[in-house]
């Protein structure tokens, strides 16, 4: 299994600001994904981070709000833009090595927006 | 459309009791995978098991066992002789369309000493 790290592990931000979350994997992976877990809720897929091209967003999520970069096969960033208290969540990065393969999750970034 | 239902929001048991977490799924796909993940208070998701749609064999791993029944679209998870360290939120998930995941709402398990 891949070892995944996320930075920061947690942050408290003011509304209207932006936060960039980093996801680093210890090996090259084909697929990287970003999920959101709102307080007491389940996980929801935000987007698939594609290397060398624009991310693929799920319904309800847009690039202007959640821009994603993936410059190589081991790294991705998710930015939460123009934050509001409703963005307070855990943001998780996950990776997969193949189609239908297992997915492993990073430790998550706990974001609180005040 | 895909759907995963975990009807039990929260379960409390006393240590050493057996407990079963229910998971019912919906999909029109013939190829899919089912997963269970554990999320302890630290927040990290821990992979427990993956089962593909063509393999209905039950599986046992130590105190954990899983019962997959396509006829009832269920993939239930049993912990035998529960321990306090089993306290966590458990998520059932459906993998479809190669790499998309749909997670259930989770079941919070409290194991009391």
Q: How do strand A89-96 and strand A75-80 relate by DSSP bridges?
A: unpaired
Residues of A in contact with B37 (CB under 8 A): 105
Q: What is the pLDDT of residue A84?
A: 97
Q: How do strand A10-13 and strand A109-113 relate by DSSP bridges?
A: parallel
- Judged by a CB distance cut-off of 8 A, whether residue B101 touches chain A is yes
Stronger pLDDT, A34 or A50, i.e. the higher one = A34
In Å, how far is A79's CA from the nearest CA of chain B? 20
Q: Provide the pLDDT confidence category of residue A103 given band limits of 50, 70 and 90.
A: confident
Q: What is the pLDDT of residue A31?
A: 86
Q: Which contiguous run of DSSP H or E holds residue B92? A: strand B88-96
pLDDT at residue A97 tops 90: no
- Judged by a CB distance cut-off of 8 A, whether residue B105 touches chain A is yes
CB-based contacts of B101-104 (< 8 A; 24+ apart in sequence): B101/A33, B101/A43, B101/A45, B101/A103, B101/B35, B102/B2, B102/B3, B102/B4, B103/A42, B103/A43, B103/A44, B103/B4, B104/A42, B104/B4, B104/B5, B104/B6, B104/B23
The token pair at A108 is 């998550």
Q: Provide the pLDDT confidence category of residue A99 given band limits of 50, 70 and 90.
A: low
In Å, how far is A82's CA from the nearest CA of chain B? 25
pLDDT at residue A50 tops 90: no
- Judged by a CB distance cut-off of 8 A, whether residue B42 touches chain A is yes
Cβ separation of A42 and B95 shorter than 8 Å? no
- CB of A110 closer than 8 Å to CB of A6: no
Give the closest of B31, B52, B91 to A42, CB-based. B91
Q: Provide the pLDDT confidence category of residue B14 given band limits of 50, 70 and 90.
A: very high
Cβ contacts of B56 within 8 Å, gap of 6 or more: B68, B69, B70
Q: What is the pLDDT of residue A40?
A: 85
pLDDT at residue B44 tops 90: no
Q: Average pLDDT of A22-43? A: 92
Residues of B in contact with A105 (CB under 8 A): 37, 44-45, 47
pLDDT at residue A100 tops 80: no
pLDDT at residue B103 tops 70: yes
Q: Average pLDDT of A77-106? A: 90
From the number of C-beta atoms within 10 Å of its C-beta (0-12, 13-18, 19+), residue B82 rates as buried
Residues of A in contact with B103 (CB under 8 A): 42-44
Q: Provide the pLDDT confidence category of residue B43 given band limits of 50, 70 and 90.
A: confident
Q: Average pLDDT of B15-43? A: 94
Stronger pLDDT, B57 or B67, i.e. the higher one = B67
In Å, how far is A75's CA from the nearest CA of chain B? 19
pLDDT at residue B41 tops 90: no
pLDDT tens column, B60-71: 899 999 999 999
Q: Provide the pLDDT confidence category of residue A53 given band limits of 50, 70 and 90.
A: confident
Q: What is the pLDDT of residue A61?
A: 97
From the number of C-beta atoms within 10 Å of its C-beta (0-12, 13-18, 19+), residue B15 rates as middle
Cβ separation of A105 and B101 shorter than 8 Å? no
- DSSP SS3 for B80: coil
Alpha carbon distance A94, A34 (integer Å):
6
Alpha carbon distance B38, A108 (integer Å):
14
Residues of A in contact with B105 (CB under 8 A): 41-42
The token pair at B97 is 């369309």
pLDDT at residue B98 tops 80: no
Cβ separation of A99 and B98 shorter than 8 Å? yes
Cβ separation of A92 and B50 shorter than 8 Å? no
Which residues of chain A approach chain B closer than 8 Å at the C-beta?
Answer: 1, 31, 33, 41-45, 48, 90, 92, 96, 99-108, 110
């Amino acid at each position: 299994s891949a070892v995944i790290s996320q930075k920061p592990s947690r942050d408290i931000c003011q509304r209207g600001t932006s936060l960039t979350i980093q996801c680093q994997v210890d090996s090259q992976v084909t697929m990287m994904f970003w999920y959101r877990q709102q307080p007491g809720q389940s996980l929801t897929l935000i987007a698939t981070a594609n290397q060398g091209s624009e991310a693929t967003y799920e319904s309800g999520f847009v690039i202007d709000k959640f821009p994603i970069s993936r410059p190589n096969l081991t790294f991705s960033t998710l930015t939460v833009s123009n934050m509001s208290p409703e963005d307070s969540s855990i943001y998780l990065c996950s990776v997969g090595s193949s189609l239908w393969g297992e997915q492993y999750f990073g430790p998550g970034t706990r974001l609180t927006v005040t | 459309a895909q759907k995963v239902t975990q009807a039990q929001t929260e379960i409390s048991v006393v240590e050493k009791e057996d407990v079963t977490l229910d998971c019912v799924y919906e999909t029109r796909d013939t190829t899919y995978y089912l997963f269970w993940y554990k999320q302890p208070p630290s927040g990290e998701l821990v992979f427990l098991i993956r089962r593909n749609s063509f393999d209905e064999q039950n599986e046992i791993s130590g105190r954990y066992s899983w019962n997959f029944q396509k006829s009832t679209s269920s993939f239930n998870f049993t912990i035998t002789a529960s321990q306090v360290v089993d306290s966590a939120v458990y998520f059932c998930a459906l993998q479809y369309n190669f790499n998309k995941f749909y997670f259930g709402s989770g079941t919070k398990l409290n194991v009391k000493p």
